[in-house]
Structure 1
Amino acid sequence: MKKRIALGIITLITAALLSGCGAKTETTSNNAADNGSSASGGGDETTYQFASDASYRPMEYMDKDELKGFDIDFIAAVMKEAGLKHKVSNVGWDAMLESVKQGTEYQAGVSSISITDERAQTYDFSMPYFESVNVIMVKEDSDIKSAKDLEGKKVAVQSGTTADTLMTKIMGEGNTDLKRFDSNAVALLEMDQGGADAVVADIAIVRDYIKTNPDKKYKEVQDTTDFTPEYYGIAYPKGSGLKAKLDPAIKTVIENGTYADLYKKWFDEEPDTAHLLETK
């Protein structure tokens, strides 16, 4: 148990350092060679560059020098289905969003990116591929039961995320009790070190952290009033032609059972793919 806890801390610190300094770590897949007969690929020999922020275990994280996670497996399956080559690089959250917006070095971002009306003004998004929701992580003996109960408490979030947006609305602009960090990894460490009463983050991240750190005695608090479901999408620069190439592949991966296999691998449960496919 001690070894597993120590490894979890090291993984978080490594992810945070990589994100903070903008270091790039890459994973490459030559899917066109593996699946050259795919109609979607159309003989396209381009290696599409995807940016990511590997501080969202189990969605995307660093295992030594390797990118792993649900999103990493998912995009590999989608690109294989489309018959396209790709490479995913860990560049950090802010750098990912800016580089994808420019569309020069990176053609897409895959990193648990919630589709919002505000972001849709800057990016094109794929069809939704994952349903999520923000939750609150607190100590097991905490009496916090909703987001409103966080007023007057110190709350850690990752800057620029939907958790940041939601808590800013609840706690107010300029509230110094709302502590923003470059990554969820650092936000979680802030709570570990006693600098925060709660962390607000996506449910997959919170659940994984509670599961892999049982000695810390944290619990998850859901607030279905203030935190509504969100959907992740692949982000593209405005006007990108990659969306048209990948949406059919995403749909096929969801419908043919590949998505369910990946979901069970990472979350030990069946996904609600019917609901996902109905979401526009």
Structure 2
Amino acid sequence: MSGIAINRRFAMAASALCAAAALTGCGKQEPGAASAPPPVPARVLVVGTDAAYTPFESQNDKGEIVGFDIDVVNAVAKKAGLEIKFVNTPWEGIFNALDQGDRDLLVSAITVTDERRQTMDFSQPYFDARQLIAVRSDSPVAKFNDIKTLKVGVQNGTTGDEVVGKLLGKSSTSIKRFESTPLALKELEAGGVEAVVADNGVVVHYLANNTAGGFKTVSDAGFPVEKYGIAVKRGNSELLAKINQGLEGIRADGTYAKIYASHFGSESK
């Protein structure tokens, strides 16, 4: 066999080996090198909300959770790069669900109070509210103190419940507690209570959509301004920072003002 033939066969064998290496991806590799793992998908954050507080959160005919709070948090999440889902959560158990880790954050017209700050952390305020008194149109009530001798409806566990409890006594039999403010207002219409004390946004919305009820509202300068905040588990500073970043972003680009106007008919102040 000639030397030329041997060289030709050697070249062919070498070529075949290189082709096999290329097909199997086994080119020259640095020791210890490994292919990068696929990216871990971001966890979907669970948002707890008591969907019985129109116009802040409620369920539409399709069972979807909608409202001012929902629109705000959706916009915040989009701005901050968070993936979320809303879960209807009864008010009476909503804070425990956050503490136990069943919810990552809460948005439910939650007033920021010193007492609540002891067990959870809050975002920057996103809404200003005041307590408002609803009574029948012929009621003589003109200020908060005038309801001391009346039967008063409140939503259980709310700041309306707190202020009425301070005025009448927390265990007063004149206080009738309900699962939601609309239920308290229906009781006012039925004559079961003589006044309802609740957040202005909910009261005004209800009265505007139930004009046949024969209600009027009474404000009192003694009611302090209340701030709504988005709640996270105490110590979850990373999530809180992202939420605040998103809130700042939607205020700066005008998104918040548009959401406010769509629900309350005017630009936020």
TM-score bracket relative to the smaller structure: 0.7 to 0.9
Shift of 1:74: 0.5
What SS class does the counterpart of residue 179 from structure 1 fall into?
Answer: strand
Aligned equivalents of 1:122 and 1:90: distance in 2? Answer: 21
Which position in structure 1 is the counterpart of 2:99? 101
Aligned to 2:157: 160
1:151-183 CA-to-partner distances (Å, cap 9, x unmatched) read: 010100011100011110111121110111122
Alignment map for 1:74-223 (pairs within 5 Å): 74-102=72-100, 104-223=101-220
Does 2:53 match 1:62? no
Paired amino acid for 1:115: V
Residue deviations 1:22-63 (CA, integer Å, cap 9, x gap): xxxxxxxxxxxxxxxxxxxxx971111010001110011111
Q: Please give the root-mean-square deviation of Cα atoms over the aligned residues, in Å.
A: 1.2
Report % sequence identity: 39
TM-score, normalization: structure 1? Answer: 0.79
Structure 2: distance between partners of 1:117 and 1:69: 26
Q: Is the 8 A contact 2:134 2:196 kept in 1?
A: yes
Tell me the TM-score normalized by structure 2: 0.82
Cα deviation digits, residues 175-202 of structure 1 (max 9, x gap): 1101111221321222122111011111
Q: Distance in 1 between matches of 2:99 and 2:138?
A: 43
Does the CA contact (< 8 Å) of 1:44 and 1:84 recur in 2? no
Q: Which amino acid aligns with 1:58?
A: P
Q: Are the equivalent residues in 1 in contact too, given 2:182–2:206 (CA < 8 A)?
A: no
Matched position secondary structure for 2:153: strand
Paired residue type of 1:83:
G
Could you tell me which runs of 5 or more consecutive residues in structure 1 were left unpaired when the two chains were aligned.
1-42, 273-280
1:16-31 correspondence runs (5 A) = none
**Structure 2 unaligned residues grouped into runs of 5+:** 1-39
Aligned mates of 2:42, 2:240 — CA distance in 1: 17
Aligned residue among 39, 42, 47 for 1:50: 47
Which structure: larger Rg?
Answer: 2
- Deviations 1:95-149 (Å, cap 9, x if unpaired)? 21110122x2111110000000010001100110100111001111111011100
- Structure 2 distance, partners of 1:114, 1:269, is 22
**Partner of 2:17 in structure 1?**
none
Q: Name the counterpart of 2:19.
A: none
CA–CA distance in structure 1, aligned partners of residues 99 and 180 of structure 2: 20
Cα deviation 1:224-280 (Å, max 9, x = unaligned): 11x1100000011111131011101101111211000000000001111xxxxxxxx
